[in-house]
A and B are shown apart, each in its own frame.
Chain A
Amino acid sequence: MIKKKTFSIGGIHLDKHKITAAMPIVDAGLPELVYIPVKQHIGAPAKILVKKGDKVKVGTLLADADGIVSADIHSSVSGEIVKIDEIIDADAYPETMIVIKVEGDEHEPNIDLSPTIISEIPYTPEEIINKVRSSGIVGMGGAGYPTPVKITISEGKKVDTLLINGIECEAYLTADGRLMVEKAEQIIIGARIINKALGIQNAIIAIDENKPEAIEIMSRLTKKYVGVNVCVCQSKYPQGAEKQLIAAITGREVPPGKLPVDVGCIVHNVGTAFAIYEAVQKNKPLYERIVTVTGDDAAEHLGNYRVRIGTPASFLIAKTTQHPEHIGKIIFGGGMMGVSAVNMDAPLTKLTSGILLLNDQDAVKPPEIACIRCAKCLDACPMGLRPFAIASAIKSNDFAELKRLHTQSCIECGSCAFICPARIPLLDYCKLGKIEVKKQQ
């Protein structure tokens, strides 16, 4: 059964940075105030249903999805709404947020908090989709695409394989790995629920080889469930990217500008599968997630935390270190694709899979020197692009050339910038190229 698969072009091997891989998930506790943004997904911001002074419980609906590509937002704590205002988030964008003052920890009565695992799925596909929709679930791998859209197959499309993405190839992050170890059965049932909604029988849980514990547990448990299998992949970055994962496991190539559904695949993150299980079987809306707090030597108490959505990053950082002055940079997400945060009080959202703390020395970017034409970026690019050519097209303002170089296919994995010996910010150039190509269309 164990045969290590991977994608054929590009990719890089990251150093072993999974410091927190063996640390069990612990509860982060409740902060004094939570800041819940009304837009934590791709699509339209949700419509606010509450007002200042309202009392809410854990799981109370705060904002309703505005349209199909949008998601419900639920309260993650119980307490009183003290403010609804535009607040600067981690990316320095002012976003509408609902600020709740925490009082006690009272859950909505229909939420099942018992630890029993329910494996029977007595619901019809429509019921499942409605439950997922009313729980505000979005893709938790980082893109934040509303899940109800992804488990509904539009007419004319045919899907035969569901891939549960447990690769977590990102540097430093271990949240998904821990979830697979501790909540393996729930994830498998979650995969079966998605299967039922899609009307297919075949689900593959992809795990990369650097998580032996998760592979062992998953392989053992999948024997109990028909139609769910484990596939072990090589540890290579970006193995966890949607297109690379499909290429590795099914050998199918997603054409540029197309979606996985066009080649008969649907990819869901393990975190999403777990959230779907909790939503369908336990009536629990998405109000908490696992966040890895990590970093080489910037903090003392690193680990995997179960965090209520809207918790300020500063609360979590204060829990992990007594000396926040040693932190040079805070990155929301992993080491490769994470975004450096501007605001330490920015809240964690449904999409924050980790907080990476860099110390003062690591936070400094080395200076850029001239390109020596080593073509390492070419070998590293998993999409087969030419990052150095994109960079020179940008430098010479040749925007027509960008389109010929298929800049819009870039998945922004950062492999080129990571591998570049001249430390040219190639990823930045590619991102800029994508902006320009978009402008032309």
Chain B
Amino acid sequence: MSLIISNILILGGIGLVAAVVLYMVSKKFAVKESPRIKAVEALLPGVNCGACGKAGCHDFAKACAEANTEDFKNLHCTVGGQSTMQKIADLLGYKTAEKDPTVAVLRCQGSCANAPAKFEYTGLKSCRLVSRIATSQSECPDGCNRMGDCVRACKFGALRLDDITGLPVVDENKCVSCGACVAICPKKLFEIRPKGKNGERVYVACRNRQKGAVARKNCLAACIGCTKCTQIHPDIKVQDNLSYIPMNVDASQYGEKLAQICPTGAIVYTGKKEQQS
């Protein structure tokens, strides 16, 4: 009996001493952190996607808490969007900068029909691997490989591969424009663009830099660098046989015209209808 008691006393004593030491150490070497950081972090989505340019949500919260009025305007959580930023601003007593919501767009229309596969690929399904060993699955050297690296990279389930076209489809409502697809795509096909009023966007859905005739042979919906779109708006430029529509081109004003004038249908105008349906 006495053996049991002495054991309990010795172990209990060691435990008590260790607890006291640990408590003292934790008090003495405690890292003092502003309580505001914790409060801001609680408002954030907590997905640690890195789209804001910080290492994660905690880092972003720290940056918010330490920012002055000017710096705060440059901080933006794309996942949480305007509403989250408003909440943080209210908490910290700052004003949020007006920021248009953005969305990722796929700049390729090389579907299975437009740009058929030129070989049967049996290796690991990965766009990055295919583009290293054989440029591209279709004839187009800059086109989509249709293997879905972007789908696997998307943390928000906003992308899926279409069964018929084979191309990834962006779900506008789920996309938070974190940029994971932009970073992973070996062909740099994704671009983060403003969502636009009423969901109206206009962009060139092609990255093919071949000469017109070759591009056309590669893909039925390729930009052939005909420069017709440059006559509609002076800011549109054709470089390396490829047109690019800058983000300042007003989609509601020029979108329909641009989509109509493009002979191959490389220019995509989302229109108002999609928003309603």
Contact = CB atoms under 8 A, between A and B. Distances in A.
A342 B119 contact: yes
A392 B124 CA distance: 13
A431 B119 contact: no
Contact of A342 (B126, B134, B152): B134
- Chain B CB within 10 A, most for which of A429, A431, A436: A431
Contacts, number: 40
Contacts of B89: none
A14 to B, nearest CB: 20
Contacts of A365: 122-123
Given A91-B134, A92-B136, A432 B118 contact: no
Interface size for chain A: under 10, 10 to 19, 20 to 34, or 35 or more residues? Answer: 10 to 19
Given A92-B134, A92-B135, A397 B124 contact: no
B133 interface: yes
Contacts of A397: 152-153
Interface of B: 118-119, 122-124, 126, 128-129, 132-136, 141, 152-153
A384 interface: no
Contacts of B119: 92, 342
A432 B127 CA distance: 10
A365 B123 CA distance: 8
A425 B135 contact: no
Interface string A363-375: 0110000000000
B127 to A, nearest CB: 10
Interface string A400-433: 0000000000000000000000000100110110
A358 to B, nearest CB: 12
Interface string A210-247: 00000000000000000000000000000000000000
Given A92-B119, A94-B141, A342-B119, A435 B128 contact: yes
Contacts of B152: 397
B126 A91 contact: no
A402 to B, nearest CB: 13
A429 B128 contact: no
A425 B123 contact: yes
Contact of B124 (A91, A93, A94, A432): A432
B128 A432 contact: yes
A432 B126 contact: yes
Interface of A: 91-94, 339, 342, 364-365, 397, 425, 428-429, 431-432, 435-436
22 contacts: A91-B133, A91-B135, A92-B118, A92-B119, A92-B134, A92-B135, A93-B134, A93-B135, A93-B141, A94-B135, A339-B133, A342-B118, A397-B152, A425-B123, A428-B123, A428-B124, A428-B126, A428-B129, A429-B124, A431-B133, A432-B126, A432-B129
Nearest to A435: B128
A343 to B, nearest CB: 9
Contacts of A429: 124
A436 B129 CA distance: 10
Contacts of A425: 123-124
A429 to B, nearest CB: 6
A364 B118 CA distance: 18
Given A342-B118, A397-B152, A435 B132 contact: yes
A389 B49 CA distance: 24
A436 B183 CA distance: 11
Nearest to A425: B124
B136 A431 contact: no
A429 B125 CA distance: 10
A339 B133 CA distance: 8
A435 B183 CA distance: 13
Contacts of A92: 118-119, 134-136
A431 B133 CA distance: 10
Contacts of B128: 432, 435-436
B155 to A, nearest CB: 9
A435 B135 CA distance: 14
B134 to A, nearest CB: 4
B158 to A, nearest CB: 16
B277 to A, nearest CB: 34
Contacts of B122: 364-365
A395 B164 CA distance: 26
Given A91-B134, A428-B129, A435-B129, 20 more contacts: A91-B133, A91-B135, A92-B118, A92-B119, A92-B134, A92-B136, A94-B135, A94-B141, A339-B133, A342-B118, A342-B119, A364-B122, A365-B123, A397-B152, A429-B124, A431-B132, A432-B128, A435-B128, A435-B132, A436-B128
B129 A431 contact: yes
Contacts of A435: 128-129, 132
B122 to A, nearest CB: 4
B19 to A, nearest CB: 36
A280 B135 CA distance: 38
A425 B136 CA distance: 20
